[in-house]
Structures are given as structure tokens and as C-alpha cells.
Amino acid sequence: MNEYQIRAMYDENSITVYQAYSRAIALPALQNNRFVAPFSFKRMTWIKPSFLWLMQKSHWGLKPGQEIILALHITRQGWEEALSQAVLTSPDPYVYHSYSEWKEQFETALVYVQWNPERTIRGKSLAIKSIQVGLSQHIVRNYVNDLMIKIEDMTPLVRKIYALFQEGLETKARALLPEEHVYPLDSLLARRIGIR
């Protein structure tokens, strides 16, 4: 099994990524089916196709400021265009010939890719690495206006899964998890983001 995988829910046209926000940001986004103020277009935003990775990061939407879990359905074309501009957050020798090559690219990057251990429903680290993609302020508006197809509130499902898990009903909780599969990439794009 490849250690680096993009595991995601996707179909022919779209891929689902997740973010956690406060009510102040999430509710207007849901009402407008796009991000609007007070969402900031002047800072980096990180998107994650792994549901369980975000659950671990947001503690199932219980962390302050991360109470609403959004599923963002974006175009596959836009997703892959973003990855084609990405620079890794560390100088992986598999991708870059030298530290200076990586540093030069990193300092002018519009998109960043970071790999973190995938998580189980219990929050434990797995050997598989999960991707998160950082969109710089220079392209966030493009993400909001051009890539976004639909914004969906996952919070009720998150609460239900977490409640079942807390009650010891892990099998029932697992059955409700979004079904993720390895996302296919051509070899050049895969190598650019560090997939072996």
C-alpha cells in the first residue's frame, strides 16, 4: 500500500473536502452557498479531503471556533489545477533536487501541500499519510468563486457519529462515515505532491 494517498469522496466531476468553522462564518456560507464576510479572503485557507483527519483536528466539531463542519464540493478540475501549482511544506528529496530549489519554490507558492498521518475513528495515527492543501490568499477568491459547487452542513451527521462512538457503538458509528476511496492522479502530478 502506498504510504501517501489522497483518500476522498469524489465522483466524475467533483471532490469533497472538509473545513471546520465558527457559526459566524459557516452559517452565512451555507445560506449563500459560498463564503462571504466575515470569511477572510486575506489569509490562507486549508482544505482536507479526509473526514476523519478533520474530526481529529476539530475534536469532532467541539473545539471553539470549529463547531460547524462543512463539506465543500469542488470541481475535480479545480482541485487538480490547485495541486499542479502546489509546493510541499518540507523539502522532500523525492520531489526536489536540493533545499535551495524547494525554498525558492516555497517562497513564491500559491498552493501548499502538507502530509499528515491519517486517523482512525478513535483518533489514532495510521501509517498512511493524508493530504491537506493550503490555498494562499492570492487564490482563495478563485476557490470560493470558481471551484465551489456546493456547501453542505455535515454537523448533524458529525454529532450523530460522535454520539454513537461515545456510547460504545463503534460499528454503527463507522457505518455512517463518508465512504472515501483513493483519488486517481496522473504520475507527474502525483510526483509533484510527493506521492510515491
How do residues 67-108 score in pLDDT, each as one tens digit? 999 999 999 999 999 999 999 999 999 999 999 999 999 999
Q: For 72, phi and psi rounded to 5 degrees?
A: -110, 115
Q: In this predicted structure, what is the pLDDT of residue 25?
A: 97
> How far, in Å, CA of 94 to CA of 114, rounded?
14
Which three three-digit cell numbers place residue 146? 470558481
Low-confidence residues of the chain, pLDDT below 50? none
What is the model's pTM? 0.95
Q: In this predicted structure, what is the pLDDT of residue 1?
A: 57
Kindly state the helix (H) or strand (E) to which residue 85 belongs, with its residue range. Answer: none
Cα separations in angstroms, 195 against 79, 88, 94, 182, 187:
16, 11, 9, 12, 9
Peptide bond into 178 cis (omega under 30): no
Domain residue spans of the chain: 4-185
